[in-house]
């Protein structure tokens, strides 16, 4: 029995024989003095074959996983036909008189490096698409067999260097019980697809994955990243018990799809989704999220090579608004801190998290502000729009923002553009806003508490620094008092309050926020059904008493103990 550990990518437990995929990360031999014409014609033929194969994959994926997932293959066709890449490959074959497959590999490496050097995790992962397309091309040119995963007809766990989107789309969950990869992260395609197919996945296992021989018995737990090779009888039993528990939890969660979010005693609230792109909306809809509580628009900027235009932004906002009947909270650009752009030079600062970030930067860069604000105003007619401003520290800043929206509304109306209704609110993530919550509440339409930043600024502990991570204390009464103050003051002014930081998805805090009367919990889609369940098992009156108790405590530990007691007394499972 051997144990390996990887990153959790898609939860669930599986036991099956390993199916080890041939290593896709191969190197191609360079051949000099080739017949150039012959190589060019091989390249042309391979392009045609690859196009046919990709279109076929698109068709099967659309049938199996839906149109949205199939669109990845449109991107593959675009990569395949990318004129710049094609030109560079052809030029290399002609100039250096080398074999087509070596030229494809060399040029692909250059393009892959460009994506890998991007700061944004999502864009980094797009390197996998270039790799997928160019590996296909190389295999066709060199006549290497492309493994057909649709032929798998017995239960297996796939073990691979990485699963390309085209490989993932061939997986039949009836036989493929899970997969394990050497590389990859939480935003890679294979991970996203695994969650859609609801099969367990573990990624980023590293070189030790090579210890897995074909046909070994594998146990995997996607929720912990644990992999056991050739397990003992005892471990198998232990995993089977875990599996039964997990399946029960999932079955229970599923019963909360399409249900209202309501407490045990009938008090209504909302669980909304945090999204980073138009694509993420699909996951939110699949768990019947009560709207979008945070659309982080910075990913539109981080994924681009230059400032996204008004039209490009409008397209993204419009798509999200049109796809849901609920309110969509779109947050204006939150760049700076740890999020940078390839095409913009931020000033060098000692403490970027306390520096030129989000609205501070936008108020200073009028063109960037106007482009986004105009796109948002234009989008207002397509659904229920709420605009959220990050990193507001003072009333003056908010009034300036409000003034800009008013000015741009007039400008757009003069251009004949129709503007719909929209709400304008702020992220509460700086303690100065908590201190003046009653005053802010009069000016805003809503407040959304960004607990990730509010925690770091409250405890003065950098959220990226491991050495002060002990100060990440979400159960500390100080932060809970802050949250309670914001909710209470906004309610006094008749405004609604959300939490869109990670704490909204923390099940142990759900009864606390119910007790405080939180109007919207916004979180990643994968947590929605569980939080909806905990809320449904919570009695609001009892939760209010819990809140008065914990706000009077002194330490995190005391709060945790009190909350645990609540879960036990009310028979709520975590
Ligand atoms: C937050 O700070 O809690 C938040 C939701 O914003 P971000 O994590 O994007 O800074
Ligand atoms: Mg924040």
**Residue 524 near ligand 1, beta carbon < 6 Å:** no
410 Cβ neighbours under 8 A, 6+ residues apart: none
Q: Report d(CA 53, CA 165) in Å as an integer.
A: 13
Order of all β-strands in the sheet with 226-229: 2-5, 226-229, 217-221, 13-20, 156-160, 176-181, 201-203, 7-10
- 462 and 559 in a common domain: yes
Q: If you ran DSSP here, which 8-state letter would residue 522 be given? A: E
Q: Report d(CA 487, CA 489) in Å as an integer.
A: 6
Residue indicated by tokens 């898609």: 10
Q: Report d(CA 384, CA 321) in Å as an integer.
A: 7
Tokens matching residue 440: 């802010």
Residue 459: how many other CB atoms lie within 10 Å: 17
Q: Is residue 281 part of a domain?
A: no
Q: Report d(CA 421, CA 386) in Å as an integer.
A: 9
Given a cut of 70, is residue 215 above it in pLDDT?
yes
Kindly tell me the sign of the dihedral angle through the C-alpha atoms of 565, 566, 569, 570.
negative
Q: Is residue 541 part of a domain?
A: yes
What confidence score (pLDDT) does residue 62 get?
82
Per-residue pLDDT averaged across 168-175, rounded? Answer: 82
What's the CATH number where 529 sits? 3.20.20.60
pLDDT band at residue 209 using 50, 70 and 90 as cut-offs:
very high
Pairing of strands 7-10, 384-389: unpaired
Catalytic (active site) residue 491: no
In testing the pocket of ligand 1, which one of 274, 336, 452, 504 has its CB within 8 Å of the most ligand atoms? 452
In testing the pocket of ligand 1, which one of 337, 390, 392 has its CB within 8 Å of the most ligand atoms? 390
**Residue 298 near ligand 1, beta carbon < 6 Å:** no
What confidence score (pLDDT) does residue 208 get?
93
**Residue 296 near ligand 1, beta carbon < 6 Å:** yes
**Ligand 1: which atom is nearest the Cα of residue 453?**
2
The per-residue pLDDT for range 286-328, each reduced to its tens digit, is 999 999 999 999 988 987 889 999 999 999 999 999 999 999 9
Residue nearest to atom 4 of ligand 1 (CA): 450
What confidence score (pLDDT) does residue 457 get?
96
Whether residue 463 contacts residue 352, with contact meaning beta carbons closer than 8 Å, is answered with no
Query: Distance between the two ends of the chain, CA-based, in angstroms?
Result: 31
Integer CA distances (angstroms), 199 to 174, 220, 423, in order: 10, 11, 39
Percent of the chain whose predicted confidence (pLDDT) is above 70: 97
pLDDT band at residue 118 using 50, 70 and 90 as cut-offs:
confident
The CA 447 to ligand 1 mean position distance, Å, reads 13
Given a cut of 60, is residue 187 above it in pLDDT?
no
The CA 71 to ligand 2 mean position distance, Å, reads 31
Residue 63: how many other CB atoms lie within 10 Å: 10
Catalytic (active site) residue 570: no
pLDDT band at residue 189 using 50, 70 and 90 as cut-offs:
low
pTM (predicted TM-score): 0.73
Q: Considering only 53-62, 192-201, 333-342, which range has the smallest mean pLDDT?
A: 192-201
Q: Is residue 451 part of a domain?
A: no
- 135 and 55 in a common domain: yes
Q: What three-state secondary structure class fits 410?
A: helix
- 190 and 228 in a common domain: yes
Given a cut of 80, is residue 25 above it in pLDDT?
no
Which of the listed residues 106, 141, 176 is the one where a domain comes to its end? 141
- 137 and 152 in a common domain: no
Whether residue 227 contacts residue 202, with contact meaning beta carbons closer than 8 Å, is answered with yes
Which of the listed residues 141, 172, 194 is the one where a domain comes to its end? 141
- 551 and 465 in a common domain: yes
Whether residue 538 contacts residue 510, with contact meaning beta carbons closer than 8 Å, is answered with yes
Residue 269: how many other CB atoms lie within 10 Å: 22
The CA 450 to ligand 2 mean position distance, Å, reads 5
Whether residue 194 contacts residue 166, with contact meaning beta carbons closer than 8 Å, is answered with no
Q: Report d(CA 320, CA 30) in Å as an integer.
A: 47
Which among 43, 49, 216, 57 has a CA at the least distance from the CA of 129?
57
Tokens matching residue 457: 């600024």
Whether residue 151 contacts residue 170, with contact meaning beta carbons closer than 8 Å, is answered with no
What confidence score (pLDDT) does residue 151 get?
83
Given a cut of 60, is residue 265 above it in pLDDT?
yes
The per-residue pLDDT for range 363-413, each reduced to its tens digit, is 999 999 999 999 999 999 999 999 999 999 999 999 999 999 999 999 999
**Residue 474 near ligand 1, beta carbon < 6 Å:** no
The CA 430 to ligand 2 mean position distance, Å, reads 9
Structural domain containing residue 486:
250-265+457-574
The per-residue pLDDT for range 434-489, each reduced to its tens digit, is 999 999 999 999 999 999 999 999 999 987 777 888 898 999 999 999 999 999 99
- 558 and 505 in a common domain: yes
Which ligand has its closest atom nearest to the C-alpha of 275?
A: 1
Which among 215, 207, 220 has a CA at the least distance from the CA of 178?
220
What confidence score (pLDDT) does residue 555 get?
98
In testing the pocket of ligand 1, which one of 500, 521, 522 has its CB within 8 Å of the most ligand atoms? 500
- 480 and 569 in a common domain: yes
pLDDT band at residue 49 using 50, 70 and 90 as cut-offs:
very high
What confidence score (pLDDT) does residue 360 get?
97
- 103 and 56 in a common domain: yes
What's the CATH number where 99 sits? 1.10.274.10
Given a cut of 70, is residue 539 above it in pLDDT?
yes
pLDDT band at residue 23 using 50, 70 and 90 as cut-offs:
low
Q: What b/e string do you get for 109-131 counting C-beta neighbours within 10 Å, with b at 16 or more? A: eebbeebeebebebbbbbbbbbb
Nearest 5°: CA angle at 150, between 149 and 156? Answer: 60
What confidence score (pLDDT) does residue 131 get?
86
Per-residue pLDDT averaged across 149-159, rounded? Answer: 91
Residue indicated by tokens 């109306």: 413
Which helix H or strand E contains 377, and what residues bound it? helix 366-379
What confidence score (pLDDT) does residue 422 get?
98
- 65 and 13 in a common domain: no
Which ligand has its closest atom nearest to the C-alpha of 298?
A: 1
Q: What is the CA radius of gyration of the chain?
A: 26
Structural domains counted in the chain: 3
Given a cut of 60, is residue 509 above it in pLDDT?
yes
**Residue 429 near ligand 1, beta carbon < 6 Å:** yes
What's the CATH number where 178 sits? 3.50.30.10
């Amino acid at each position: 029995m051997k144990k390996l550990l990887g990153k959790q990518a898609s939860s669930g437990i599986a036991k099956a024989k390993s199916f080890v995929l041939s290593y896709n990360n191969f190197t191609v031999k360079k051949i000099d003095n080739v017949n150039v014409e012959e190589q060019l014609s091989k390249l042309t033929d391979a392009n045609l074959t690859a196009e046919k194969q990709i279109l076929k994959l698109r068709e099967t994926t659309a049938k199996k996983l839906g149109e949205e997932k199939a669109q990845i293959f449109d991107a593959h066709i675009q990569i395949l036909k990318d004129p710049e890449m094609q030109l560079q490959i052809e030029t290399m074959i002609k100039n250096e008189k080398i074999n087509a497959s070596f030229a494809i590999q060399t040029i692909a490496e250059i393009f892959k490096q460009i994506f890998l050097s991007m700061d944004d995790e999502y864009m980094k992962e797009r390197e996998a698409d270039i790799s997928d397309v160019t590996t296909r091309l190389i295999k066709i040119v060199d006549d290497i067999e492309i493994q057909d995963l649709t032929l798998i007809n017995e239960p297996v766990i796939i073990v691979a260097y990485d699963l390309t989107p085209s490989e993932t789309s061939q997986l039949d969950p009836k036989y493929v019980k899970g997969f394990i990869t050497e590389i990859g992260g939480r935003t890679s395609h294979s991970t996203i697809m695994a969650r859609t197919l609801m099969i367990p996945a573990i990624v980023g296992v590293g070189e030790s994955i090579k210890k897995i021989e074909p046909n070994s018995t594998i146990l995997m737990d996607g929720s912990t990243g644990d992999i056991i090779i050739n397990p003992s009888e005892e471990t198998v039993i232990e995993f089977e018990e875990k599996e039964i528990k997990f399946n029960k939890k999932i079955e229970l969660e599923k019963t909360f799809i399409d249900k209202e979010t309501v407490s045990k005693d009938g008090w209504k609230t909302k669980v909304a989704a945090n999204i980073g792109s138009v694509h993420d909306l699909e996951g939110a809809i699949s768990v019947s999220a009560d709207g979008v509580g945070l659309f982080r628009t910075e990913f539109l900027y981080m994924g681009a090579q230059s400032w996204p235009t008004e039209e490009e932004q409008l397209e993204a906002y419009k798509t999200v608004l049109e796809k849901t009947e609920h309110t969509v909270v779109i947050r204006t650009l939150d760049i700076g801190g740890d999020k940078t752009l390839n095409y913009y030079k931020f000033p060098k600062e000692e403490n970027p998290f306390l520096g030129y970030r989000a609205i501070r930067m936008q108020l200073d860069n009028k063109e960037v502000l106007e482009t986004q604000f105009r796109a948002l105003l234009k989008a207002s007619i397509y659904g229920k729009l709420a605009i959220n401003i990050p990193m507001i520290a003072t009333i003056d800043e908010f009034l300036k923002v409000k003034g800009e929206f008013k000015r741009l509304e007039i400008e757009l109306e003069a251009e004949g553009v129709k503007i719909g209704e929209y709400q304008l609110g702020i992220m509460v993530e700086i303690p100065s806003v908590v201190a003046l919550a009653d005053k802010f509440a009069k000016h805003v339409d809503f407040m959304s508490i960004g607990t990730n930043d509010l925690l770091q600024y409250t405890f003065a502990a950098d959220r990226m620094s491991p050495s002060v991570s002990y100060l990440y204390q979400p159960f500390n009464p100080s932060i809970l008092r802050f949250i309670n103050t914001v909710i209470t003051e906004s309610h006094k002014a008749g405004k609604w309050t959300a939490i869109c930081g990670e704490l909204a998805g923390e099940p142990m805090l759900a009864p606390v926020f119910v007790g405080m009367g939180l109007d919207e919990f916004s979180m990643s889609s994968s947590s929605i059904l569980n939080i909806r369940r905990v809320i449904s098992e919570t009695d609001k009156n009892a939760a209010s008493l819990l809140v008065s108790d914990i706000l009077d405590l002194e330490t995190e530990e005391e709060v945790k103990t009190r909350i645990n007691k609540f879960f036990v007394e009310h028979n709520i499972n975590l």
